[in-house]
A and B are shown apart, each in its own frame.
Chain A
Amino acid sequence: MKVTVKFFAILRERVGAAEITKELSDGSTVADLWRALKEEYPKLAPIETRLLYAVNQNYVKPDHALKDRDEVVFIPPVSGG
């Protein structure tokens, strides 16, 4: 399956792209995707302890199973206002 990953704020700067498509094996979770991204972009690793996860614009837990064409966003601590 293929999922879209969008990057914002510090993650976009670390990755150097706003959006990528990632091929994953069926049954992969959000945590699996993050592990794959860390291998591809080692600069992401220092950020992980504070991340939240969103799939199709809803907060989910890291064990959430992904589906084909999901939109995934890793959310560093928010600082709006």
Chain B
Amino acid sequence: MFRVVRTPLDIHELVRYVTEASAGAITTFIGTTRNNNEGRKVIALDYDAYPEMAEKELRRIGDDAKKKWNIERMAIVHRIGPVQIAEASVMIAVSAAHRDDAFQACRFAIEEIKKTVPIWKKEVFEGGEVWIGTQTGQPLSEADLRQRSS
């Protein structure tokens, strides 16, 4: 399950999706909207995405994780549009026979999302708004890009 949606997220839906009789572990990650960032008082986040490509990249993360670890299933759902403080913007669930694989694949997924998936957040704070990453973010390295475009 690799989706970009405009509606509130439900972790139970992801957990149900990855539940397998052969799995002895399910790990989850929930990314939520913090009320402060670099000294700014954050009012909300507003996410934009290139949805078709974002879902494709999320699937690619799932495929890569399956090659690296012995996991059963993975689900990643990212919310776009306005997300209020303390609401979830991204949820990940991974099932595996053993917990080490489930933990590592879950960590891998959120780190990859932040590198390659075409989703952008605009931070709306007291006194203004800013697209995160455009001012301070690092672009992909040449090696990353070679891998993506091969």
Contact = CB atoms under 8 A, between A and B. Distances in A.
17 contacts: A9-B131, A10-B120, A10-B131, A12-B48, A52-B145, A54-B53, A59-B148, A60-B149, A76-B133, A77-B137, A78-B115, A78-B118, A78-B120, A79-B121, A80-B117, A80-B121, A81-B89
Given A50-B137, A80-B78, A80-B119, A8 B114 contact: no
A73 to B, nearest CB: 6
A47 B50 contact: no
Secondary structure at the B interface, as helix, strand, loop or mixed, is mixed
B31 interface: yes
A6 interface: yes
Interface of B: 31, 47-50, 52-54, 56, 78, 89-90, 110, 113-122, 131-134, 137-140, 145, 148-149
Chain A interface category by residue count:
20 to 34
Given A8-B50, A52-B140, 19 more contacts: A8-B120, A9-B120, A49-B139, A59-B148, A59-B149, A61-B145, A61-B149, A73-B118, A75-B118, A76-B120, A76-B133, A77-B134, A77-B137, A79-B120, A80-B54, A80-B78, A80-B114, A80-B121, A81-B119
Secondary structure at the A interface, as helix, strand, loop or mixed, is mixed
